[in-house]
Structure 1
């Protein structure tokens, strides 16, 4: 019994004095010079010592590893300090454990250094409340954000805080962060706006923010620091915005954004399925209507082939949506005119460039434009050297409804004697404009054959 006891004691002493055991006890107690240096480094850089970087007894070395990641992706990241901190706060709204948003709001208002930068000017509580109260965008609003970012002709610097440009960037980055698998268009828009280098730095920062969120979600025992407890006690509105799970915007923000993006994808998927199922039906209708208006095989073949080419062009346009692009009205109109090799000397085109059409309305709308052009080429202004075609368009902005594209098509100088002889009056094209567009696209249309040519107006919702 004595020998066993002595042996056990020797093993215990040997184990206790082993280097690994000494190092583990050394780190766990926090009483070492190295640990003190680590804590001093964190506090000097951030202005406070966050609980996030407090070593755990089970794996004390991980605190320093998290710190190394924080320095590389967050603190030493060359993006502007206030932008980094504002982005951290904005995205922390989507984390159910509230430690990150509380701590980084503290950094942003000067309870510590924003993004570890002692020179960065802190923001006011009012400015932070504005940032925290930004709504989650719906699908149509996100489309508008992406369009503005995609319109950058060359990469620009990270925008200043509290600007519209910064809001657009925050919204697009939110899509990248919350639903990365569905963020192809958002990534392309951000990259176009800020350039490849800044895009990669943004991605690195998102990686650390994701790490911080996951760490706090799996370690909910991490407590708030005293400075933020005192601050929230003094500012009840801010405390409720940060902590009240019944009223706080974060509770459903992630779900709302996912729903918006899911709805957007469902629209595209439904559209693709609809086109796949009904393409043959559309062709059949065109075949029947064309056949009923032509008595010779040649005339039938010419018109039917032309309409099939129009459908083919629409499908080519829609295929561009894979790259996150949208077809524009002026692009659609110019392409259709170019396909018929008409002289631009007879045409006046006036309207804003880049009015983006909704993918769900494109096919029917494009066919209507095709029918107008074909009619003008065969019987109207583009068939007579002395006639003229004027197409003017404008966008009406309304906060209560989607933007409306107003298109005004007017032919002059055609000198039509027998209006009833115009093939388009009882034909497929006019029926498409007067019946299909209002029914399918919620458009408002007016079509009239005047003595000098066709006069047509179409108002249809667009993305703008």
Structure 2
């Protein structure tokens, strides 16, 4: 026989359920919506019907004593593990055995998952932004705030309201930002530990996991990046957690009658900004509005991948030309290797520069020039740079132009103005706007104080750099160039089309 305390607990649960159903009936019943305009007789009929529903609802459900004991034991286990008894696990009255099965899934993929507890709970909250029914995000934000145990771990220090608001406010990354995220994750030389809360590494991982969660069929690059960053084992545990979060969302979406627990209702009543963000469905609506989020997360990636393939082919062509031209001038390995490596380094610097740009930005001339000078530790005391900042270069012509600047700097460091502490380098540039033509960047490079006559025997008269400036730039970039070796040093001018 069930104990009196068990029967009282069951009775309290039944009364609470009746109250909830009655309030819903009051809100949804057409009679109640028309009560202000109804006659007194109609109002009386409504109240009589309402009392009848109360009497029927208060009739106790017949349960055996063993059912009640088993149910109480199950609910105590849930409460001991989570610190509260979520309505999620009391929503299966029509199929009581399902509650234990849901609990088994929760333990396997969520609670007993060996990933760090705070990471699991923060990820649960972050991904629950994409569920239109807000039960999961409210309940799991409560766990993070100490209303229960984060991922079932009572030893985790609760987060603050401010920290939760920041987590809920993180923007969904666009395609260009995701490309940078994937590059960083794929750059791990060996798997790292799951990142600390609120770190940049955690943000990167959350962004990649957002793609895996929202658009799993288009997440090949995200999966590769996450696996590279965390390793094969942790990757599978992360996927198991994503699967459980997906199941929890589906369950709540198909059981929209799930009510928030009292502790979270009280908390949201006290913190309106938190409540507003928890109950905001804009991210979820975006995720479910056709392909809007899918295009934002992956649509542009196809464009970027196409552009990347194009750039890769161009880059390989540039490297092949650099290799061939270096081989013609340096016939021994000892002389070939350092020159070829130096030119590869210049190519690499440009690629690194490109990878750090956000969407819509371009490499600028002054940025490129300063990067190349810094790479050779050139003394700025010997250099005068004079020109407008932010002149944007065309991506399609960037690599060849960068190699030309590299060759000018290398020659100045080896033989010219930057090799002699008493010499000086002037680089002046300006932009000329044409009426019917693209704007032109005019670059004037002038070295003084070198005295080439004293070192003429050591200076190659027709090296790769000069050929690049006099032949490749006019052919590939439609540039106008002039390269002269004056008694005081090199004088070079380059006029190349640029962006507005």
Residue 230 (structure 2) pairs with residue 201 (structure 1):
no
The answer to whether the 8 Å contact 1:145/1:168 transfers is: yes
Structure 2 CA distance for aligned equivalents of residues 87 and 220 of structure 1: 22
Residue 185 (structure 2) pairs with residue 188 (structure 1):
no
Deviations 1:226-281 (A, max 9, x none): 11111111111111111144xx55443676642323432341476599x7xxxxxx
Match of 1:179 among 215, 234, 239: 215
In the other structure, the counterpart of 1:107 is 143
How far did 1:449 drift? 2.7
In the other structure, the counterpart of 2:337 is 344
In the other structure, the counterpart of 2:422 is none
The answer to whether the 8 Å contact 1:381/1:413 transfers is: no
Q: 1:345 to 1:64 in 2, by over 3 A?
A: closer
Q: 1:268 to 1:30 in 2, by over 3 A?
A: farther
How far did 1:99 drift? 0.5
Q: 1:345 to 1:51 in 2, by over 3 A?
A: closer
Structure 2 CA distance for aligned equivalents of residues 106 and 30 of structure 1: 33
Residue 340 (structure 2) pairs with residue 355 (structure 1):
no
Deviations 1:424-447 (A, max 9, x none): 778675242246xxxxxxxxxx85
Segments of structure 1 that go 5 or more residues without pairing to the other structure are 1-23, 276-310, 318-331, 391-407, 436-445
In the other structure, the counterpart of 1:61 is 97
The answer to whether the 8 Å contact 1:336/1:370 transfers is: no
Structure 1 CA distance for aligned equivalents of residues 189 and 498 of structure 2: 28
Residue 479 (structure 2) pairs with residue 450 (structure 1):
no
How far did 1:455 drift? 7.4
The answer to whether the 8 Å contact 1:75/1:115 transfers is: yes
Structure 2 CA distance for aligned equivalents of residues 159 and 410 of structure 1: 51
Q: Secondary structure at the match of 1:102?
A: helix
In the other structure, the counterpart of 2:115 is 79
Structure 2 CA distance for aligned equivalents of residues 228 and 128 of structure 1: 14
In the other structure, the counterpart of 1:42 is 78
Match of 1:137 among 169, 173, 186: 173
The answer to whether the 8 Å contact 1:146/1:185 transfers is: yes
The answer to whether the 8 Å contact 1:333/1:369 transfers is: no
The answer to whether the 8 Å contact 2:445/2:491 transfers is: no
Structure 2 CA distance for aligned equivalents of residues 97 and 415 of structure 1: 74
Q: Note the aligned Cα RMSD (angstroms).
A: 4.4
**83-92 or 422-431: which moved more?**
422-431
Match of 2:163 among 127, 148, 167: 127
TM-score, length basis structure 2: 0.58
The answer to whether the 8 Å contact 1:133/1:249 transfers is: no
Deviations 1:134-175 (A, max 9, x none): 111111111111111122121111111011111111111111
Structure 1 CA distance for aligned equivalents of residues 495 and 73 of structure 2: 75
In the other structure, the counterpart of 2:286 is 252
Q: 1:49 to 1:143 in 2, by over 3 A?
A: same
Q: 1:228-247 maps to which residues of 2 (within 5 A)?
A: 228-245=264-281
How far did 1:224 drift? 0.7
Residue 156 (structure 2) pairs with residue 157 (structure 1):
no
Deviations 1:276-332 (A, max 9, x none): xxxxxxxxxxxxxxxxxxxxxxxxxxxxxxxxxxx9x81796xxxxxxxxxxxxxx8
Q: Secondary structure at the match of 1:355?
A: helix
Structure 1 CA distance for aligned equivalents of residues 321 and 353 of structure 2: 16
Q: 1:172 to 1:269 in 2, by over 3 A?
A: closer
The answer to whether the 8 Å contact 2:470/2:483 transfers is: no
Segments of structure 2 that go 5 or more residues without pairing to the other structure are 1-60, 331-335, 363-393, 419-443, 448-457
Q: Secondary structure at the match of 2:130?
A: coil
Q: 1:261 to 1:333 in 2, by over 3 A?
A: same
TM-score, length basis structure 1: 0.62
Q: Secondary structure at the match of 1:93?
A: helix
The answer to whether the 8 Å contact 1:381/1:387 transfers is: no
The alignment of Structure 1 onto Structure 2 pairs a total of residues equal to 344
Q: Secondary structure at the match of 1:111?
A: coil
Q: Secondary structure at the match of 1:449?
A: strand
The answer to whether the 8 Å contact 2:186/2:228 transfers is: yes
Structure 1 CA distance for aligned equivalents of residues 114 and 401 of structure 2: 50
Structure 1 CA distance for aligned equivalents of residues 259 and 183 of structure 2: 42
Q: 1:364-379 maps to which residues of 2 (within 5 A)?
A: 364-365=396-397, 368=400
Q: Secondary structure at the match of 1:450?
A: strand
Structure 1 CA distance for aligned equivalents of residues 66 and 255 of structure 2: 20
